[in-house]
Amino acid sequence: MRHNDPSFRSQNKFSMSFDFFLILPVYLFLETIYKKAMAYNEQLAERIRKRLGETPNVTEKQMMGGLTFMVNDKMCIGIIKDELMCRIDPGFHDKALDRKGCRTMDFTNRPMNGYVMINDLGMETDEDFDYWINLSLDFNKQAKQSKKKKKKD
């Protein structure tokens, strides 16, 4: 084929666009897979951002296939798909499970004490939503920071 000949490419201004159209479907397919793997509820993310607006030292990190809000370099609140993930006092964990829409986080099929997932029913109202955010922020003050891994040279 002539479009594979290097001399033809340098003379033909359309060769680049031709290659682009060959690669485009592959790129779009991979982009779709990536977005599905990293999918989280963007409306919920905006709701959290608005609520944490005045909170100092907040950073966002994509992890666990979702979005995590770090407060003072400690995991505090997150989103996995359409659910709110809250890091709470492990001593309060069982009592928190009594609230509507709350379940223990079992992201790796291992229940994690001190981490709960809240579905839509558990955060329908602003009062419910604020309850979970405040609970997470309160625990964040006493939570231990994860040890940072040393980078290999």
Integer Cα distance of 6 and 9 in angstroms: 5
Low-confidence ranges of the chain (pLDDT < 50): none
Sequence ranges of the domains in the chain = 2-37, 42-140
Query: What is the model's pLDDT at position 18?
Result: 52
The token duo for 62 is 């994509």
Buried b (16+ CB within 10 A) or exposed e, 112-133: bebbbbbeeebbeeeebbebbb
Residue 129: its pLDDT value, please?
A: 98
**Distance, CA of 61 to CA of 64 (rounded, Å):** 10
List, for residues 58-85, the tens digit of each pLDDT value: 999 988 678 999 999 999 999 999 999 9
- Can you tell me the distance from the alpha carbon of 61 to that of 84, in angstroms, rounded to the nearest whole number? 15
CATH topology classification for 42-140: Aspartate Aminotransferase, domain 1 (3.90.1150)
What are the beta bridge partners of residue 91? none
For residue 126, the model assigns a pLDDT of 96
